Amino acid sequence: MNIDLAVIGGSGLYSFPGLENATRHSVDTPFGPASGDVVIGDFAGKRVAFMARHGESHTVPPHRVNYRANLWALHSLGARTVIGVNAVGGIRADMGPRVIVVPDQVIDYTHGRYTSFCDIEGAEVKHIDFSEPYTEALRRRLIVAAGRAGVPVLDGGCYGATQGPRLETRAEIARMRRDGCDLVGMTGMPEAVLARELDIAYACLALVANFAAGCGDEAEISIEEIFAHLAAATAEVPRILAELLKS
């Protein structure tokens, strides 16, 4: 099956606006069920596949997402280029609510997740190079596409992946800042490394929903405000991806 681009939608992105002639595909994987069906249709003159990382009703928490099944399902249908759309908190001062970032580095603080396809019996053990966790050529294409779409994005930044589903403490965010993290999210890993194991070109569009704990003026982070900011940032995603597909 010919798929020009696959998109994994995070919190706030449960369907892909503008996807036409869509068909649904349920894929059996060696790793159990994926988060849901893969929806494939036409967008900007290309074939696009979409999957909601948390399920279409947001029923799968970040630490229970079957990342291996999700990537395997997309790959088995023909996806070789994937954009992960991730809701994040901003740590760096210029990464406040509604800002869109194309990160270039990751620090993984998660635990207990299946992080490799090598975990199944008889699988080849691959020691992949993960020095650059995102595909640089795809990152550059995303940034250029955003510029053509007139959508401001920040180039680069370190994504700190935490376990969730709870938000982080002030002390945890302070540690992450000392470690060099600019953003904090719950779904960036192991998605990126699994894509690398499958030789999938992968990049992240990180949508800042809020300042992380202790980084903004708010005494408490409001879930209602988070989703309002996410909705505003998410509305820009189809414009960026339409320009990406044109390139």
Residues annotated within the binding site are 11, 53-54, 186-187, 210-212
Closest to 78 in 3D by CA, of 40, 23, 21, 115: 40
Tell me the C-alpha distance between 148 and 217, whole Å: 33
Most distant CA atoms of the chain, gap in Å: 52
Instruction: Judge whether 165 and 186 are in contact, CB under 8 Å.
Output: yes
DSSP secondary structure letter of residue 35: S
* CA count, 13 A, side-chain hemisphere, 212: 32
Helix/strand/coil for 39:
strand
Name the amino acid, one letter, at 174: A
Q: Which residues are annotated as a binding site for phosphate?
A: 11, 53-54, 187
Q: Which residues are annotated as a binding site for substrate?
A: 186, 210-212
Name the amino acid, one letter, at 78: G
